[in-house]
Structure 1
Amino acid sequence: MQTDQRFDPYRAFNFVVDIDNIAVASFSEVAGLTAEGDPVEYREGADAENHVRKLPGLRKYTNLTFKRGYTRDDTLWRWYTNIANGQNDRRSITITLLDEAHAPVMRWYAFGAFINKIEGPSFNATGNEVAIENMEVVHEKLTLELAG
């Protein structure tokens, strides 16, 4: 076994988000990159063993959540307004993890995405925090691709 090479894990703070291949915002946090399925239980009366079999069922994907500091950019609110007004404004989202040299190492793709919830900041006159906007996005499919 070769021991002279070291592979450190990537840092979670180097990432870029693109919505329909246009960098619309810089986000401070992205969460929800989760894919899972519901197992289907099945058993035949002639099965020799006394337990159910587990078969793969439908896949489902957790909603993505995004956080960013407020700026004068209202692109996300306009996208949400389109959805709220009944437009079918689905988009593709790419989340790219970068290495220490800011080169892409892997990408998550969310397809058929739209904003389901958008939340303005909480204000506190005695605080010193940045005004944060929260966005929750639903999507139909999530894939992972290694870059390079």
Structure 2
Amino acid sequence: MFTPPLGFHFRVEVLGITPVADDLRFTEVGGLALEIATEDMPEGGENRYVQRYPGVAKYGDLVLKRGLLKDSEVWNWARRCIEELDITPRDVDVTLLNPDHDPLMTWHVVGAFPTKWSIADLNASANTFVVETLTLAYKYFRIDKS
């Protein structure tokens, strides 16, 4: 009987960045999405429907979340890209792991660069961790099913 893999055991690597301490310990990954754009063309003389034609592939933004770190090479990369417009695209690997920590599947995200960084709202009446969110635009991803 097939059992789908669990989604809580994964690893994120920003290639070309040497991480410090817990730099790549993201708690949430979102935005691994692929869709095809369509172009609508009205049919001449036919008012009941619109023809839809396939266009190019579109990829969503990669959204990474983790607890706020005071010292981070990933943050330094994001700051340089956003504040100084020193855009240095990096490839990012998101790897789903099995219970033995071996790769099950890896999404190789190509040409990613930061477009947004934010932290969760600070709230004196809540007892929660401060979470930072990093949003990355990218060209495309490839899937390696190990």
Q: 1:40 & 1:125 partners in 2: Cα distance? A: 49
Larger Rg: 1 or 2?
Answer: 1
**Equivalent residue, structure 2, for 1:48:** none
Identity of aligned residues (%): 30
Aligned with 1:58 (options 56, 59, 69)? 56
Aligned residue-pair number: 138
The one-letter code matched in structure 1 to 2:67 is G
1:122/1:40 Cα in 2 relative to 1: closer, same or farther (>3 Å)? Answer: closer
Q: Gaps spanning 5+ residues in structure 1: where?
A: 1-5, 46-50
Once the two structures are superposed, residues 87-121 of structure 1 have per-residue CA deviations (whole angstroms, 9 ceiling, x without a partner) of: 13100000000112221100011111011000023
After superposition, what is the alpha-carbon deviation per residue over 1:8-57, rounded to whole angstroms, capped at 9, x for unaligned?
Answer: 110010000000165541011001110111135679x9xxxxx8876542
Identify unmatched segments of 5+ residues in structure 2.
none
* 1:33 lines up with 2:32 in the alignment: yes
| Structure 1 residue 73 displacement after superposition | 2.5
TM-score, structure 2 as length reference: 0.82
Structure 1 distance, partners of 2:78, 2:16, is 18
Q: CA deviation at 1:134?
A: 0.7
* More strand as a share of residues: 2
| Counterpart-to-counterpart distance in 1, 2:127 and 2:40 | 53
Instruction: Provide the C-alpha distance between the structure 1 equivalents of 2:87 and 2:68, rounded to a whole number of angstroms.
Output: 26
Alignment of 1:1-148 (within 5 A): 6-20=1-15, 24-40=23-39, 55-84=53-82, 85-147=84-146
